[in-house]
């Protein structure tokens, strides 16, 4: 059946076009689970050192050092300790984890088992987004295969290490991708994020020390164990090593999933790999990292896709979801779609977020209809500034940033809507 999406492959995705490589037999034939066996011969401390020196950064949005995160787990102390794999991919524009789970379930399980050994976890909760029924089924099949072969269970690959993996399906709530929202959801509660500290390494799932890692992050781990830190640092930039999966969508000739080194220039992604916009169109703006990240205008697409460079342009890599908009698209209308999403998905726990996301949507929608006044634009800026950094989790920031980005680069479009009392983009998508 194939991955059903155009691919550029590298080490994570090299076998994704081959249906025979999805199951355990095919995965092992291609060298699968060798990294796990090697890892089990090393101490957890050595593995944490390896992943830290490789410079692997979390691929779930925040980009935190994976090795450092693992090192926060208490090295001894009472069991149980847990690993949580975050497969709640819900960031609009992002679809990499779905393909990783469907096409490479054993690669993920191998990464999980190595991470579990390194952090002393006795059980992994693999939390899969509720809508992702097919990926969840692929993982259940892979776990059953691995259990039957003694790769998951009381003696992982014949060692003394015991580990079990449980798939838990979410039920349609974006906020459960936030790691402590996810932990609440695992415990059978509303997915409302927790105050930090305490961090999950101290007080995680069911109150026990827990590491939470994203799907893609864990998929890199076996490759680092097999090939070493220096090999991994041969991809990407000095500060952001490795490849990542860029999901390119929107008004572009060849949308797809492209595994490329971090630091690949955005214009190379958009024009070379994704084929650029339609023949008679020009790119207007690109959202570089999922809906939460501020847009970049057409004259800033030379930026290398790594956080150290994107931060200079006041945006971030996020989840690598690249959305391309051409000149037909009304940026105010795009802002209405963005604002609607965050209003809908706010968990309602913090006032700034619950009220702020509603007001942003109301104001942007009013401007789009041609019923806005100039003051609405400054009120929007004021609301965004008052949401940033003021709440329990980063959702409020994620709701404010894209609107701030639109106002930073396309303020003229907002003003034109107010002055002309209408939207002047006849060819933009209808709301």
Partner 1 sequence: MVISPETRAAIDEAIARTPQPRGALLPALHLVQAEHGHISLELAAAVAEILGIRSGDVMEVVSFYDMFHARPQPRHHVSVCTNLPCSLRGARTLLAQLEAHCGVAAGEPTADGRLVLGREECLGACANAPVLRVDGTYHEKLDSEAARQLLDGLE
- What residues line the site for partner 1 (CB under 8 A)? 4-6, 80, 89-95, 97-98, 129-134, 164, 166, 168-174, 185-191, 205-206, 208, 247-251, 255-257, 287, 291, 321, 323-325, 329, 334, 337-338, 341, 344-345, 429-431
> CA dist 111 to 96, 264, 361, Å?
16, 25, 40
190 SS3 class: coil
CB of 25 to partner 1, least distance (A): 26
For partner 1, the closer CB: 200 or 222: 200
> Which pair of tokens denotes residue 404?
């701030």
Least distance (Å) between residue 190 CB and partner 1 = 4
State which residue, 39 or 407, has the beta carbon closest to partner 1: 407
CB closer to partner 1 out of 122 and 308: 122
Query: How many alpha carbons lie under 13 Å from residue 309 in its C-beta half-sphere?
Result: 19
C-beta of 339 vs 418, nearer to partner 1: 339
- Our CB check for partner 1 shows the closer of 51 and 142 to be 142
Rounded distance, CA 29 to CA 52, Å? 29
Q: Identify any residues that bridge with 165 across adjacent strands, giving them in sequence order.
A: 124
C-alpha pair distances (Å), 295 with each of 265, 315, 372, 415: 15, 7, 22, 18
Least CB distance to partner 1 at residue 249 (A): 4
For the CB of residue 49, give the shortest distance to partner 1 in the complex, in Å. Answer: 30
Query: 380 CB contacts (<8 Å, ≥6 apart)?
Result: 360, 363, 364, 403, 407
Quick one: 91 or 413, whose CB is closer to partner 1? 91
Phi, psi of 429 (to 5 degrees): -60, 150
Q: How far is the CB of 258 from partner 1 (least distance, A)?
A: 10
Question: In the complex, what is the shortest distance from the CB of residue 73 to partner 1, in angstroms, rounded to a whole number?
Answer: 17
Q: Which is nearer to partner 1, 6 or 23 (CB)?
A: 6
SS (H, E, C) 378-394: HHHHHHHHHHCCCCCCC
Alpha-carbon distances, residue 171 vs 174, 176, 188, 217, 265 (angstroms): 9, 9, 11, 23, 36
d(CA 173, CA 138) in angstroms, rounded, equals 22
Q: Of 132 and 414, which has the nearer Cβ to partner 1?
A: 132
Rounded to a whole number of angstroms, the minimum distance from the CB of residue 143 to partner 1 is 11
How far, in Å, CA of 410 to CA of 61, rounded? 25
What is the Cα–Cα distance from 115 to 119, expressed in whole angstroms? 6
- Least distance (Å) between residue 19 CB and partner 1: 18
The structure tokens 């059953």 sit at 144
Instruction: Count, in order, helices (H) and strands (E) of the chain.
Output: 16, 10
How far is residue 28's CA from residue 131's CA, in Å, rounded to a whole number? Answer: 29
Please give the Cα distance from 240 to 235 (Å, whole number).
Answer: 9
Q: Which is nearer to partner 1, 12 or 35 (CB)?
A: 12
Nearer to partner 1, 130 or 370 (CB): 130
3-state DSSP helix/strand/coil % of the chain, to nearest 5 = 45, 15, 40
Strand-pair category, 256-261 with 283-287: unpaired
Per the DSSP assignment, residues forming a β-bridge with 126 are 85, 167
Q: How far apart are CA 308 and CA 315, in angstroms?
A: 10
- Closest by CA to 72, choosing from 203, 195, 163, is 203
Smallest gap, in angstroms, from Cβ of residue 101 to partner 1?
10
Minimum Å gap between C-beta 227 and partner 1 is: 29
Least distance from partner 1 to the Cβ atom of residue 174, Å: 7
Residue 225 vs 400, nearer CB to partner 1: 400
């Amino acid at each position: 059946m194939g991955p059903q999406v155009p691919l550029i492959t590298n080490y994570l995705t090299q076998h994704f076009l081959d249906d025979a490589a999805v199951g355990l037999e095919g995965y092992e034939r291609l060298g699968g689970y060798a990294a796990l066996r090697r890892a089990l011969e090393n101490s957890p401390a050595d593995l944490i050192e390896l992943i830290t020196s490789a410079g692997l950064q979390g691929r779930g949005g925040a980009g935190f050092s994976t090795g450092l995160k693992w090192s926060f787990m208490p090295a001894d102390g009472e069991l149980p300790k847990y690993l949580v794999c975050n497969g709640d991919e819900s960031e609009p524009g992002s679809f990499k984890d779905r393909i990783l789970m469907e096409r490479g379930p054993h690669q993920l399980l191998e990464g999980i088992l190595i991470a579990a050994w390194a952090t002393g976890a006795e059980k992994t909760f693999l939390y899969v987004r509720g809508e992702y029924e097919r990926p969840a089924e692929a993982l259940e099949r892979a776990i059953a295969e691995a259990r039957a072969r003694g790769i998951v269970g009381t003696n992982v690959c014949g060692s003394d290490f015991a580990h079990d993996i449980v798939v838990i399906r979410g039920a349609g709530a974006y906020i459960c991708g936030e790691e402590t929202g996810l932990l609440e959801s695992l415990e059978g509660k509303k997915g409302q994020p927790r105050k930090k500290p305490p961090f999950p390494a101290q007080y995680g799932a069911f109150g026990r020390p827990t590491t939470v890692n994203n799907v893609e992050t864990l998929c890199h781990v076996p490759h680092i164990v097999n090939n070493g830190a220096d090999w991994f640092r041969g991809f990407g930039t000095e500060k952001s090593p490795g490849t990542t999966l860029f999901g390119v969508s929107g008004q572009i000739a060849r949308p797809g999933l492209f595994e490329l080194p971090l630091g690949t220039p955005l214009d190379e992604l958009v024009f070379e790999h994704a084929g650029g916009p339609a023949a008679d169109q020009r790119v207007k703006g690109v959202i570089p990292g999922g809906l939460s990240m501020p847009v970049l205008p057409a004259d800033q697409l030379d930026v290398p896709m790594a956080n150290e460079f994107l931060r200079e342009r006041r945006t971030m890599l996020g989840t690598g979801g690249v959305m391309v908009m051409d000149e037909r698209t009304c940026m105010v209308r795009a802002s209405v779609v963005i604002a609607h999403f965050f209003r809908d998905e706010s968990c309602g726990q913090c006032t700034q977020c619950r009220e702020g996301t509603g007001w942003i949507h109301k104001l942007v929608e009013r401007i789009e209809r041609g019923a806005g006044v100039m003051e609405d634009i400054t009120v929007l800026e004021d609301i965004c500034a008052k949401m940033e950094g003021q709440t329990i989790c980063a959702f409020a920031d994620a709701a404010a940033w894209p609107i701030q980005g639109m106002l930073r680069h396309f303020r003229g479009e907002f003003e034109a809507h107010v002055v002309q009392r209408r939207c002047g983009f006849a060819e933009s998508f209808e709301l």
